Amino acid sequence: MATGNPGKYRELSALLREAGFIPLPVSGQLLAEAPEEPTDDYRKAAVMKAKWTAARVGKLALADDSGLEVEALDGSPGPQSARFAAAAGGPVAALVTEMRRRGIERSPARFRAVLAAATPAGQVRWAEGAWDGEVIVTPRGEGGFGYDPVFFVPTMGKTVAELSLQQKNLLSHRGQAFRRLLDQLRFLATTLGS
């Protein structure tokens, strides 16, 4: 699994295990050697991470590039969500500070994810998912990761951080992308004979 984000790893591991795969983490050293990822396009970044990792580890690799698009912030931070969070004391603090600075209490928002799978020979497949909700300035809940405490899901009456991992995987941008990719992931696995 071509990610250094423990939250993504937890969610994708559960999905992979349910589908009969055995997820393996990449080493910290490999992550440190990974080339800088593009921050303008989810698909480009996910494909790059998957291809690079598969070539280095000699196994089928799964990568995720994702982000939060806030309508009142003209769609940002988007593919730069990790950078936006790192620059300002974490995702929740960064977003709440920016919203308060602009006098915004809540806004429609969308999580997006692209998952890419690659083989060591360079075959690639990808799929995307999107999850609509609202961002709020009062964080709630202890679960999940990243922006989850400030992403409110109207159909559940809860923030993502108040959902279980199973509930989140059923609804999330990542869960949707995974289910769309699954047949292709299985196909790529057969080409490796694993």
Binding site for ligand ITT (CB under 6 A): 3-5, 8, 64-68, 81-82, 85, 91, 111, 144-148, 172, 174
The least CB distance from residue 99 to ligand ITT, in Å, is: 16
DSSP-assigned letters across all residues of the chain: -----HHHHHHHHHHHHHTT----PPPHHHHHHSPPPPSS-HHHHHHHHHHHHHHHHSS-EEEEEEEEEEGGGTT-EETTHHHHHHTTTSHHHHHHHHHHHTT-SEEEEEEEEEEEEE-TT--EEEEEEEEEEEEESS---SSSSTTGGGEEETTTTEEGGGS-HHHHHHHSHHHHHHHHHHHHHHHHHHHHT-
Q: How far is the CB of 108 from ligand ITT (least distance, A)?
A: 16
Q: Which is nearer to ligand ITT, 148 or 162 (CB)?
A: 148
Nearer to ligand ITT by Cβ, of 3 and 176: the residue is 3
Which of 64, 65, 74, 183 is catalytic? The answer is 65
* 65 among known catalytic residues: yes
Q: Which is nearer to ligand ITT, 33 or 191 (CB)?
A: 33
- Cβ of residue 189: shortest distance to ligand ITT, in angstroms? 21
Annotated catalytic residues are 65
